[in-house]
Protein backbone atom coordinates (compact mmCIF):
# COMPACT_ATOMS: atom_id res chain seq x y z
CA UNK A 1 0.00 0.00 0.00
CA UNK A 2 1.27 3.46 -0.89
CA UNK A 3 0.42 5.34 2.30
CA UNK A 4 1.58 8.72 0.98
CA UNK A 5 -0.51 8.48 -2.16
CA UNK A 6 -3.56 7.56 -0.11
CA UNK A 7 -2.99 10.45 2.33
CA UNK A 8 -2.65 12.86 -0.59
CA UNK A 9 -5.91 11.59 -2.12
CA UNK A 10 -7.75 12.02 1.20
CA UNK A 11 -6.29 15.50 1.65
CA UNK A 12 -7.49 16.56 -1.79
CA UNK A 13 -10.91 14.98 -1.19
CA UNK A 14 -11.16 17.11 1.95
CA UNK A 15 -10.17 20.23 -0.04
CA UNK A 16 -7.13 20.84 2.15
CA UNK A 17 -3.74 22.21 1.16
CA UNK A 18 -0.62 20.59 2.55
CA UNK A 19 -0.20 23.64 4.75
CA UNK A 20 -3.75 23.36 6.15
CA UNK A 21 -3.30 19.66 6.93
CA UNK A 22 0.09 20.37 8.54
CA UNK A 23 -1.49 23.02 10.79
CA UNK A 24 -4.25 20.63 11.89
CA UNK A 25 -1.62 18.03 12.85
CA UNK A 26 1.01 20.41 14.26
CA UNK A 27 3.47 19.29 11.58
CA UNK A 28 5.33 21.14 8.85
CA UNK A 29 4.16 21.47 5.26
CA UNK A 30 7.51 19.97 4.19
CA UNK A 31 6.92 16.86 6.30
CA UNK A 32 3.43 16.36 4.82
CA UNK A 33 4.94 16.76 1.34
CA UNK A 34 7.58 14.11 2.08
CA UNK A 35 4.97 11.70 3.47
CA UNK A 36 2.74 12.15 0.41
CA UNK A 37 5.68 11.40 -1.90
CA UNK A 38 6.61 8.35 0.22
CA UNK A 39 10.02 9.88 0.94
CA UNK A 40 9.50 9.36 4.67
CA UNK A 41 7.22 7.26 6.83
CA UNK A 42 5.39 8.76 9.78
CA UNK A 43 5.38 7.03 13.15
CA UNK A 44 2.10 5.39 14.16
CA UNK A 45 1.33 8.31 16.49
CA UNK A 46 2.02 10.86 13.72
CA UNK A 47 -0.01 8.83 11.21
CA UNK A 48 -2.91 8.78 13.66
CA UNK A 49 -2.67 12.60 13.97
CA UNK A 50 -2.64 13.00 10.17
CA UNK A 51 -5.63 10.69 9.76
CA UNK A 52 -7.53 12.51 12.48
CA UNK A 53 -6.85 15.75 10.60
CA UNK A 54 -8.31 14.07 7.52
CA UNK A 55 -11.42 12.89 9.37
CA UNK A 56 -10.61 9.18 9.44
CA UNK A 57 -8.82 6.63 11.61
CA UNK A 58 -6.30 3.81 11.26
CA UNK A 59 -8.90 1.06 10.92
CA UNK A 60 -10.84 2.79 8.14
CA UNK A 61 -7.67 3.98 6.42
CA UNK A 62 -6.23 0.47 6.13
CA UNK A 63 -9.55 -1.29 5.50
CA UNK A 64 -10.49 0.95 2.59
CA UNK A 65 -10.65 -0.97 -0.65
CA UNK A 66 -7.85 0.00 -2.99
CA UNK A 67 -8.99 2.03 -5.99
CA UNK A 68 -9.47 0.12 -9.20
CA UNK A 69 -6.94 1.07 -11.86
CA UNK A 70 -8.59 3.23 -14.54
CA UNK A 71 -5.78 4.37 -16.85
CA UNK A 72 -3.31 1.97 -18.44
CA UNK A 73 -0.06 2.78 -20.21
CA UNK A 74 2.10 1.05 -22.79
CA UNK A 75 4.07 -0.47 -19.90
CA UNK A 76 0.92 -2.39 -18.90
CA UNK A 77 0.53 -3.99 -22.34
CA UNK A 78 1.37 -7.69 -22.75
CA UNK A 79 2.50 -8.67 -26.27
CA UNK A 80 2.28 -12.07 -27.94
CA UNK A 81 3.43 -12.83 -31.47
CA UNK A 82 2.28 -15.71 -33.68
CA UNK A 83 4.67 -16.10 -36.61
CA UNK A 84 2.71 -18.98 -38.18
CA UNK A 85 -0.46 -16.90 -38.46
CA UNK A 86 1.46 -13.62 -38.98
CA UNK A 87 -0.08 -11.53 -36.23
CA UNK A 88 0.86 -9.71 -33.03
CA UNK A 89 -1.62 -9.59 -30.18
CA UNK A 90 -1.43 -6.84 -27.56
CA UNK A 91 -3.50 -7.20 -24.39
CA UNK A 92 -4.27 -3.57 -23.56
CA UNK A 93 -5.64 -4.23 -20.07
CA UNK A 94 -3.64 -6.60 -17.85
CA UNK A 95 -5.69 -9.43 -16.35
CA UNK A 96 -8.71 -8.46 -18.44
CA UNK A 97 -9.80 -12.11 -18.37
CA UNK A 98 -11.33 -11.40 -14.95
CA UNK A 99 -13.49 -8.64 -16.44
CA UNK A 100 -16.64 -8.84 -18.55
CA UNK A 101 -14.87 -7.72 -21.71
CA UNK A 102 -11.34 -8.08 -23.03
CA UNK A 103 -9.93 -5.40 -25.34
CA UNK A 104 -6.92 -6.22 -27.49
CA UNK A 105 -5.00 -4.59 -30.29
CA UNK A 106 -4.23 -7.05 -33.07
CA UNK A 107 -1.80 -6.28 -35.86
CA UNK A 108 -2.05 -8.56 -38.90
CA UNK A 109 0.85 -8.67 -41.35
CA UNK A 110 0.15 -9.15 -45.07
CA UNK A 111 -1.41 -12.60 -45.37
CA UNK A 112 -1.98 -12.74 -41.61
CA UNK A 113 -5.06 -14.07 -39.90
CA UNK A 114 -6.23 -15.14 -36.46
CA UNK A 115 -6.92 -18.71 -35.45
CA UNK A 116 -10.48 -19.82 -36.05
CA UNK A 117 -12.58 -19.53 -32.91
CA UNK A 118 -15.47 -21.89 -32.22
CA UNK A 119 -18.95 -20.62 -31.33
CA UNK A 120 -19.22 -19.35 -27.76
CA UNK A 121 -21.49 -17.24 -25.61
CA UNK A 122 -21.00 -13.53 -25.95
CA UNK A 123 -20.34 -10.89 -28.55
CA UNK A 124 -17.37 -9.41 -30.36
CA UNK A 125 -16.66 -5.91 -31.56
CA UNK A 126 -13.79 -4.52 -33.58
CA UNK A 127 -12.66 -1.21 -35.04
CA UNK A 128 -10.12 -1.11 -37.87
CA UNK A 129 -7.41 1.47 -37.16
CA UNK A 130 -5.25 0.73 -40.17
CA UNK A 131 -5.56 -1.30 -43.38
CA UNK A 132 -8.54 -3.53 -44.13
CA UNK A 133 -9.61 -6.96 -42.94
CA UNK A 134 -12.07 -9.72 -43.67
CA UNK A 135 -14.33 -10.94 -40.89
CA UNK A 136 -15.21 -14.60 -41.42
CA UNK A 137 -18.40 -15.56 -39.62
CA UNK A 138 -19.64 -19.06 -40.42
CA UNK A 139 -19.79 -19.29 -44.23
CA UNK A 140 -19.96 -15.49 -44.66
CA UNK A 141 -17.12 -13.05 -45.30
CA UNK A 142 -17.34 -9.30 -44.63
CA UNK A 143 -14.77 -6.69 -45.64
CA UNK A 144 -14.05 -4.02 -43.04
CA UNK A 145 -11.90 -0.99 -43.93
CA UNK A 146 -10.00 1.58 -41.89
CA UNK A 147 -12.46 3.65 -39.84
CA UNK A 148 -15.16 0.96 -39.96
CA UNK A 149 -16.21 -1.42 -37.23
CA UNK A 150 -17.75 -4.86 -36.89
CA UNK A 151 -20.02 -6.39 -34.27
CA UNK A 152 -21.47 -9.88 -34.03
CA UNK A 153 -22.76 -12.55 -31.69
CA UNK A 154 -20.22 -15.35 -31.59
CA UNK A 155 -22.61 -18.19 -32.47
CA UNK A 156 -20.59 -19.34 -35.53
CA UNK A 157 -16.96 -20.24 -36.14
CA UNK A 158 -15.16 -16.95 -36.70
CA UNK A 159 -11.82 -15.30 -37.39
CA UNK A 160 -10.36 -12.23 -39.06
CA UNK A 161 -7.77 -11.96 -41.81
CA UNK A 162 -5.78 -9.16 -43.40
CA UNK A 163 -7.48 -8.19 -46.66
CA UNK A 164 -4.67 -6.02 -48.02
CA UNK A 165 -0.98 -5.82 -48.81
CA UNK A 166 -0.07 -3.67 -45.79
CA UNK A 167 -0.27 -4.28 -42.05
CA UNK A 168 -3.79 -4.08 -40.59
CA UNK A 169 -4.46 -2.94 -37.00
CA UNK A 170 -7.71 -3.65 -35.17
CA UNK A 171 -9.00 -2.85 -31.70
CA UNK A 172 -10.96 -6.00 -30.86
CA UNK A 173 -13.18 -6.48 -27.82
CA UNK A 174 -14.61 -9.82 -26.79
CA UNK A 175 -17.20 -10.50 -24.16
CA UNK A 176 -16.80 -12.68 -22.27
CA UNK A 177 -13.00 -12.71 -22.55
CA UNK A 178 -11.73 -15.34 -24.96
CA UNK A 179 -8.31 -14.24 -26.23
Boundary-marking domain end, from 42, 63, 84: 63
Banded model confidence at residue 159, pLDDT cuts 50, 70, 90? very high
- Angstrom distance (rounded) from CA 90 to CA 170: 10
Residue 57 and residue 8 in one domain: yes
For the chain, report the end-to-end CA distance as a whole number of angstroms. Answer: 31
Residue 16 lies in a domain: yes
Q: What is the DSSP string of 3-56?
A: HHHHHHHHHHHTT--HHHHHHHHT--HHHHHHHHTTSS---HHHHHHHHHHTT-
The structure's pTM equals: 0.63
What tens digit of pLDDT does each residue of 19-35 get? 999 999 999 999 999 99
Q: Is the pLDDT of residue 90 over 70?
A: yes
The whole-number average pLDDT for the span 163-178 is 92
In a domain, 137, yes or no: yes
> Using the 8-state DSSP alphabet, how is residue 110 labeled?
T
Query: Do both 15 and 47 map to the same domain?
Result: yes
Q: Is residue 171 part of a domain?
A: yes
Distance CA 133, CA 124 (A): 15
Q: Are residues 33 and 89 in the same domain?
A: no
Look at residue 69 and tell me if it is in a domain. no
Proportion of the chain above pLDDT 70, given as a percent? 95
Q: Do 40 and 34 meet the contact criterion of CB atoms below 8 Å apart?
A: yes
| Residue 134 burial class via C-beta count within 10 angstroms: exposed 0-12, middle 13-18, buried 19 and up | middle
Residues 85, 122 within the same domain? yes
Last residue of a domain, one of 21, 42, 63: 63
Beta-bridged to residue 126, according to DSSP, are 150, 172
Phi, psi for residue 143 in degrees, rounded to 5:
-90, 135
Number of domains, the chain: 2
The answer to whether residues 95 and 50 belong to one domain is no
Q: CA-CA distance, 72 to 49, in Å (whole number)?
A: 34
pLDDT number for residue 63:
83
Model confidence pLDDT, tens digit, residues 107-156: 999 999 999 999 999 999 999 999 999 999 999 999 999 999 999 999 99
Q: Is pLDDT at 91 greater than 70 in this prediction?
A: yes
Q: Using CA atoms, how far apart are residues 85 and 88, in angstroms rounded to an integer?
A: 9
Answer yes or no: is 68 within a domain. no
Q: Provide the residue range defining the domain that includes 47.
A: 3-63
Mean pLDDT, the chain, rounded, equals 92
Note whether 160 and 80 are same-domain residues.
Answer: yes
Amino acid sequence: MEIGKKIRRLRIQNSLTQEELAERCELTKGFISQVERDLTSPSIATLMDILEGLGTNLRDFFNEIEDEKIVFTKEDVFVSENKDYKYTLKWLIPNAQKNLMEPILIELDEGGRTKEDSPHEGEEFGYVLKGSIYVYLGNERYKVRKGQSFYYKANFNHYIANAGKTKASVIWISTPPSF
